[in-house]
């Protein structure tokens, strides 16, 4: 069952992607083909199978929760497209 | 013999003895890179000046060591290396092959790279990659495709295609890559080099641009199993900055003698009598990996290599990994799902370029829509869809359950054998453009490499032949969790009695 154009637009909105009309058409066709292939998984009965949470039996070893030095504010702002008064700058969020 | 023909281990010996200097070696690599880059495009960034400055410093250290006749605690002192451009190196641009990270200069260094630097290695540059490591050919790089050194009309594989091409072309003795679904092993196979994907959780992912976090592994590419073993032994181990790294001792890798960390190179330069026989090791050959669609020459070479291993004392058994055919659909739900979350951070606010807009939401939409490439957008959308309300159970939930079945296949197989041997890819390197506009066909290239990522087991690819067109054929060995040493020992034994790994493309 191919994705509808509306579904593609909905996904793009969720993913915060601005797409051209041409991209929507192309992705609709390509994603539909991929999803078709992926549906193969429905063949398997997995009623009693637990989903994977980790591939390792050891889990994640914990470290002590102690303060430690991190990167400086200057270093972290170095790559920002717009900075003001030591902060990331964005357009106003509230009217 | 050119300096650039030296393997890592040979280069270490040559630097220790004073036969050559780090400066000469680094200059030789840079000169070869400069000569071959126009036809290969393996690199996205060269750090020539800083590399030469570090080489001079290394030469001073090496001179003192020779004068005092002492061993360096730094096994890689003075050795140039290349780093796939998805791993950060403080002060060097890191793009992940994407326009959305254009101009990004990370303020920190990835743990894997840092450990190599602390061992004396010199980063010479950053290598090309499919955007965010999503691809099997480097054609998805936003900065141009890398060409296969064996035939420049073909792809080098991917996503670590830049690293594999650079090693194959003798631009650099060793390079780092990353492997989420085969991205070290498949380009190693296409370029005729040796590449290791370690066990998940073995090498820190700190400083790795995240793609599929339950799958991503940092790996090494070199010309020999021995060289790869040395890099691996230095990178591996617990790192407080990556909570998934495990407290499992990194075994001494026998093939470089008991001295891997102390005096690499001494043991193996001679290559005599060091490889233990493979007696007592059982190799499983999974029947699901030799089905339709596989190039006949690939199957023949892999089977031939298995019989060489048998001749070295290993026992060979046919085994089954019954859920192999489901690895691809499982992967193309889980990896995109994780990617859709990981790539949410690229928003035009904190780093990377911004497409300016009236409000913050439009900054997100426009920056992401215009700066991500098509394959990245496809995977983000696929993952977003698989995780979205109404689809989660059918896609993501089911995929994680089938992933459990795939893991069980491996667990059961590893009750019978120590190692699984299989082709790396169904074919040798394909022509550039062969899968243009057919993403599913491209995904099928990874059909033999994805299962190891889904199960978290280590995989090692190395060359075992050439096809009729003169293109390298690779075999992969997969092993139990944390038993990279067994794979490396086996490949080393193979490389002691064959010379496929020493074949070089004519350039």
Confidence of residue B254 (pLDDT cuts 50, 70, 90): low
Q: Is B126 a catalytic residue?
A: no
Return all residues near A43 (Cβ < 8 A) that are at least 6 apart: none
Domain boundaries, chain A: 5-41
Output the domain CATH number for residue B198.
Answer: 3.90.1300.10
Are residues B401 and A51, on separate chains, in Cβ contact within 8 Å? yes
All residues of chain A having their beta carbon less than 8 Å from the beta carbon of residue B247 are 58, 61
Q: Are B489 and B275 in contact (CB under 8 A)?
A: yes
Q: Check CB contact under 8 Å for A16 and B105.
A: no
Active-site residue, from B22, B72, B98, B159: B159
Is the N-terminal amide bond of B159 cis, ω within 30° of 0? yes
Interface-testing mutation among B340, B373, B381, with chain A (most A C-beta atoms within 10 A): B381
Query: What is the CATH topology of the domain spanning A5-41?
Result: Histone, subunit A (1.10.20)
Residue B217 domain flag: yes
Q: Is the pLDDT of residue B7 over 80?
A: yes
Interchain CB distance below 8 Å, A78 and B107: yes
Domains of chain B: total: 1
Residue B261 has a pLDDT of: 32
ipTM of the complex model:
0.96
**Closest partner residue to B382 among A18, A31, A46, by Cβ?**
A31
Residue B77 belongs to domain spanning = 3-272+279-324+405-497
Is residue B341 domain-resident? no
pLDDT at B277: 67
Would the CB atoms of B377 and A17 count as touching at under 8 Å? yes
Catalytic site residue from B22, B98, B160, B183: B183
- Chain B residue numbers touching A57 (CB-CB < 8 A): 481
pLDDT given at position B260? 34
**DSSP string spanning B98-157?**
-GGGTT---SS--HHHHHHHHTT-EEEEEE--SGGG--SSSTT-TT-PPPBTTBTTB---
pLDDT tens-digit profile of A20-69? 999 999 999 999 999 999 999 999 999 999 999 889 887 777 888 899 88
**Global confidence as pTM:** 0.95
CB contact under 8 A, B365 and A16: yes
Instruction: Kindly state the average pLDDT of the residues B418-444.
Output: 94
């Amino acid at each position: 069952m191919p994705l509808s154009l509306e579904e593609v637009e909905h996904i793009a909105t969720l993913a915060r992607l601005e797409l051209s009309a041409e991209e929507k058409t192309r992705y609709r066709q390509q994603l539909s083909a991929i999803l078709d292939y992926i549906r193969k998984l429905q063949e398997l009965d997995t009623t009693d199978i637990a989903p994977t949470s980790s591939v390792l039996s050891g889990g994640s070893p914990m470290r002590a929760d102690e303060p430690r030095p991190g990167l400086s504010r200057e270093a972290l702002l170095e790559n920002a497209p717009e900075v003001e008064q030591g902060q990331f700058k964005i357009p106003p969020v509230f009217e | 013999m050119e300096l650039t023909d030296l393997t890592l281990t040979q280069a270490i010996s040559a630097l220790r003895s004073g036969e050559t200097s780090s400066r000469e070696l680094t200059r030789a690599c840079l000169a070869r890179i400069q000569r071959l880059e126009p036809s290969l495009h393996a690199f996205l960034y060269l750090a020539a000046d800083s590399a030469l400055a570090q080489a001079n410093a290394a030469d001073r250290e090496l001179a003192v060591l020779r004068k005092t006749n002492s061993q360096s605690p730094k096994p890689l002192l003075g050795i140039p290396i290349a780093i796939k451009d998805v791993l950060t190196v403080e002060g060097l641009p890191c793009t992940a092959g994407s326009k959305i990270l254009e101009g990004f200069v990370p303020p920190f260094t990835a743990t894997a790279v840092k450990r190599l630097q602390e061992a004396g290695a010199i980063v010479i540059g950053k290598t090309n990659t499919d955007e965010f490591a999503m691809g099997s050919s480097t054609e998805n790089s936003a900065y141009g495709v890398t060409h296969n050194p064996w035939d420049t009309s073909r792809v080098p594989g991917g996503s670590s295609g830049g690293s594999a091409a650079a090693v194959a072309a003798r631009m650099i003795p060793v390079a780092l890559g990353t492997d989420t679904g085969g991205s070290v092993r498949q380009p190693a196979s296409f370029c005729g080099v040796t590449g290791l994907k370690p066990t998940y959780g073995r090498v820190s992912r700190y400083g790795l641009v995240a793609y599929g976090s339950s799958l991503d592994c940092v790996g090494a590419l070199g010309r020999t199993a021995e060289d790869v073993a040395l890099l691996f032994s230095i990178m591996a181990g617990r790192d407080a900055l990556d909570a998934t790294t495990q407290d499992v001792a990194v075994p001494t890798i026998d093939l470089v003698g008991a001295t891997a960390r102390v005096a690499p190179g001494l043991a193996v330069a001679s290559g005599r009598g060091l490889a233990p026989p493979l007696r007592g090791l059982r190799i499983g050959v999974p029947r699901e990996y030799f089905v339709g669609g596989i190039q006949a020459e690939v199957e023949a070479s892999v089977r031939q290599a298995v019989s060489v291993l048998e001749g070295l004392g290993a026992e060979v058994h046919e085994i089954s990994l019954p859920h192999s055919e489901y690895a691809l659909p499982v992967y193309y739900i889980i990896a995109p799902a994780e990617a859709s979350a990981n790539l949410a951070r690229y928003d035009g606010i904190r780093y990377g370029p911004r497409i300016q807009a009236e409000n913050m939401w439009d900054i997100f939409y426009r920056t992401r829509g215009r700066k991500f490439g098509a394959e990245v957008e496809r995977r983000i959308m696929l993952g977003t869809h698989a995780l979205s309300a109404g689809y989660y159970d059918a896609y993501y939930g089911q995929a994680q359950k089938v992933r459990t079945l795939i893991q069980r296949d491996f667990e059961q197989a590893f009750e019978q054998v120590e190692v699984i041997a299989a082709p790396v890819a169904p074919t040798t390197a394909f022509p550039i453009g062969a899968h243009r506009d057919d993403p599913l066909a491209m995904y099928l290239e990874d059909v033999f490499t994805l299962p190891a990522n889904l199960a978290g087991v280590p995989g090692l690819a190395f060359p075992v032949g050439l096809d009729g067109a003169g293109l390298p054929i690779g075999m992969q060995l997969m092993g139990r969790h944390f038993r990279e040493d067994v794979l490396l020992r086996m490949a080393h034994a193979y490389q002691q009695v064959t010379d496929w790994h020493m074949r070089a493309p004519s350039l």
